[in-house]
A and B are shown apart, each in its own frame.
Chain A
């Protein structure tokens, strides 16, 4: 186990380094330097900002030295100040991070809570009408762009019916409002964005659960469990599902970048003050420090989640850890 663990973590180091180099390379793709790219957008660049940029990237230095400096700063998470309001990038990210984590966390939990029962129910009735109909619905959901569904839901529930708030993460409540009222307000704001993020990953995940459980059910050990007198429900939930869940762990790890991607569009539509919205605002304002910081951060977050699921997988499956 220790050997596998060590090897897996060691392999993540070059990947993390690769992420830093990739972000560095993207920043250097810009024709001219970042300061002139800023000017190209038809904006007057204050000399202070241009100097700040050149200082940040040390653009007068040789390339290897620039790369080294960038890595050193990135590791300490020193990305300088945002061009938009002059505040430290790390501070802006700290403010936005909880909102994105809340949104994606809810979506992930809902996906697992709904996806597993749906997939298992389908696998139990594999090939029958129920399976086919649910599969068709999931397939259709999977093919619907989430930003389209978001707009339709917004138009229906917030604009036409007026049941849900139009945008933001909370409303201005009077100071006297209690915890319950505030919680309800938050939930009303989060409902549609969470729904939009959930349905895509749910459609994807439930189909994976269905196919991996359906592949376990015909195996002999399931029959053996039945032969010992256990019910089908027990044989499937207690035995087949447990074996089927193992490979699904990896899928969950790979769903994280998808959720983060989705939140750029969804947060934008619902004006949810999270990382996705911060990133998009930075793109429009050509706020390079924020762009570089968030590209690095989201990639490293994803790497961490992939690593975590790989290690969980090894902990759960002895075949992997023995190599």
Chain B
């Protein structure tokens, strides 16, 4: 994918940001934990912080509670570590980004929230991509009444202001992170479906498709084996923007207090707490917002660069006005993508 963005500096910035975010998300249990990274006790060395990983954690020696800490985690606070004596402390050498209303370290919570937000974004966008590919593909290939019905369904979903629909779903379903993912996923697929449908409509008329039909391939086989894979690139681009809006939606829901249920940390949740302390704790409002902003910007940058790489015509040579000069941006030929 790196070579895809050779022409786009902003795309590379986006990719780099995404890499940092992904690393922070994957490493979050060892980046911020009150347990030592490396300890030494009667049973030899232990890796208590690493033991917090779901499966990997069982393979490493967890050490014992009384073991001597050799190496602490970079941020030696648990995201859940309540310390009421340190409530609402401003950023300092001890707590780099300050503490929240329960004395929890804000940086630790922001890092621990990264995997939550990213997984909500990826899963929700994945759901909407699969739904969009299926429904959009079937609509485009079948045409006629099926197309009409699916297009109406798309319009129905489009008509609901997203937050209204998601809030209504979240209100009626039991609160959990899965509800949030599902609600965001099933409300955002029409965008992907639109791209898939348009792509299938185009590919349906190709000679190669006609040849497949002449060879006796069943419609399902033509659609799923031959046409949909070709529709993947534009849908993936749309899904990349979809990750950004899913993360935004999750943050908004958690901000309102109906997203990821506490005590699990979430960026929107920290922002929500800050509302009550606007006059005394600016750091609660500033830092989680920066995390959301950078994440959304990263996905949007990558999506934008990818879209331009797929469709060089979208940045058609722009004539600079009044000088009679043509200036062409460097763009990647479409052939290099397939």
Contact call B256/A265, Cβ cutoff below 8 A: yes
State whether the Cβ of B153 lies closer than 8 Å to any Cβ in chain A.
Answer: yes
State whether the Cβ of B162 lies closer than 8 Å to any Cβ in chain A.
Answer: yes
Contact call A295/B164, Cβ cutoff below 8 A: yes
Contact call A148/B292, Cβ cutoff below 8 A: yes
Partner of A15, one of B152, B169, B170: B152
Which residues of B269-297 have CB atoms within 8 Å of chain A's CB atoms?
271, 274-275, 278-279, 282, 285-286, 288-289, 292-293, 296-297
Contact call A152/B172, Cβ cutoff below 8 A: no
Contact call B162/A257, Cβ cutoff below 8 A: yes
Contact call A295/B321, Cβ cutoff below 8 A: no
Q: Within 8 Å CB of A261, what residues of B?
A: 161-164
Which residues of A19-48 have CB atoms within 8 Å of chain B's CB atoms?
19, 22-23, 26-27, 29-31, 37
A163-194 CB mask vs B (1 if < 8 Å, else 0) is 00000000000000000000000000000000
State whether the Cβ of B167 lies closer than 8 Å to any Cβ in chain A.
Answer: yes
Question: How far, in whole Å, are A159 and B170 apart by their CA atoms in the complex?
Answer: 32
State whether the Cβ of B220 lies closer than 8 Å to any Cβ in chain A.
Answer: no
Contact call B164/A294, Cβ cutoff below 8 A: yes
Q: Within 8 Å CB of B168, what residues of A?
A: 23, 26, 283, 291, 295
Closest to B155 in A: A15
Selected interface stretch from A64-72, A83-91, A105-113, A135-143: A135-143
Contact call A27/B172, Cβ cutoff below 8 A: yes
B228-270 CB mask vs A (1 if < 8 Å, else 0) is 0000000000000000100010011001101000000000000
Pair count A-B, CB < 8 A: 168
Closest to A21 in B: B156
Partner of A140, one of B174, B286, B297, B317: B297
Contact call A18/B153, Cβ cutoff below 8 A: yes
Q: Within 8 Å CB of B164, what residues of A?
A: 260-261, 264, 279, 294-295, 298-299
Which residues of A249-300 have CB atoms within 8 Å of chain B's CB atoms?
254, 257-258, 260-262, 264-265, 268-269, 279-280, 283-284, 286, 291, 294-295, 298-300
Chain A residues within 8 Å of B, Cβ to Cβ: 11, 14-15, 18-19, 22-23, 26-27, 29-31, 37, 123-128, 139-140, 142-145, 147-149, 151-152, 154-155, 159-160, 211, 214-215, 217-218, 232, 236, 254, 257-258, 260-262, 264-265, 268-269, 279-280, 283-284, 286, 291, 294-295, 298-300, 302-303, 306
